[in-house]
Structures are given as C-alpha cells and as structure tokens.
Amino acid sequence: MTSPNDQFTDIANRSQEAVTAAVRTWTDTVQGFAGTLSTSQSQVPDLSSVVEQYFDFAEKALANHRELAQQWASAAAKASEAVTQQAQHATPPIAEHTATGTEAVVDNAAATTRAAGDETASTLRAARTP
C-alpha cells in the first residue's frame, strides 16, 4: 500500500505533466499560426481599413435612419395638416345642421305642447258640460 505522501507526489507529477503538455501544445499552435502569418501577409486585414469600413457603414446606416425619420415627420405633418383642414371645412356645415336640427326640435316641442294644451282644454270643457 502506498502512503498518502506517495499518492500526493504521484498526483503532483501527473498534474505537472498535463500542464506541461498543454503549454507545449498551445506553444506549437501559436508558433504554427505565427509562421502562417509571416508567410501570407495578405490574410491579415489592415486594421485601419477595417475601422474605416466600419465607420463608413455606420455613417450610411445613420444617414438612412435620418432620411427615414425626416420622411416620417414630413408625412405626419402633412397628415396632421390635412386632418385640421378637413375639420375646419366640416365644422361650419355641422354647426349649421345642428342649429337647424335644434330649431326643428324646439318648434316640434312647442307644437306638441300647444296640441297637448288644446287637447287638455278640450277634455276639461267636455268634462264640465253635463
């Protein structure tokens, strides 16, 4: 049977070997990538060109958003103006129609009241005469 110290030493050795293998693999990968870069410079993009392209795209997108917002605002203003004009044109005929209708209702109510009063008076007269 192995002692706890021997087990600890064995675990430490295996861990060290695993870390060493991982670092060696990583180093080999990075060196291979660096070798590829040095032999083919055309694969690496020019960073200043990437930045320029990004901001050119952002400027175009912002210009399109601005144009869309301006078109929307213009359409909203025209629609609001059209609704206001229609309301202004519709108000006088509606007011006139309302006044005429109100006069007709008042006249009808007065005639109905007169007729009811005449009918009541007639009924009272008939009730008085035996």
Is there a domain that residue 10 lies in?
Answer: yes
Is there a domain that residue 49 lies in?
Answer: no
Is there a domain that residue 25 lies in?
Answer: yes
* DSSP string across 2-71: --HHHHHHHHHHHHHHHHHHHHHHHHHHHHHHHHHHHH-GGGSPPHHHHHHHHHHHHHHHHHHHHHHHHH
Domain extent, residue 10, equals 1-44
Give, for all 130 residues of the chain, the pLDDT tens digit: 567 777 778 788 888 888 888 888 888 777 776 766 655 555 566 788 888 888 999 899 999 999 999 998 888 888 888 888 888 877 777 777 777 878 877 788 778 888 878 777 777 777 777 6
Total tally of structural domains belonging to the chain? 1
Is there a domain that residue 58 lies in?
Answer: no
Is there a domain that residue 71 lies in?
Answer: no
Is there a domain that residue 9 lies in?
Answer: yes
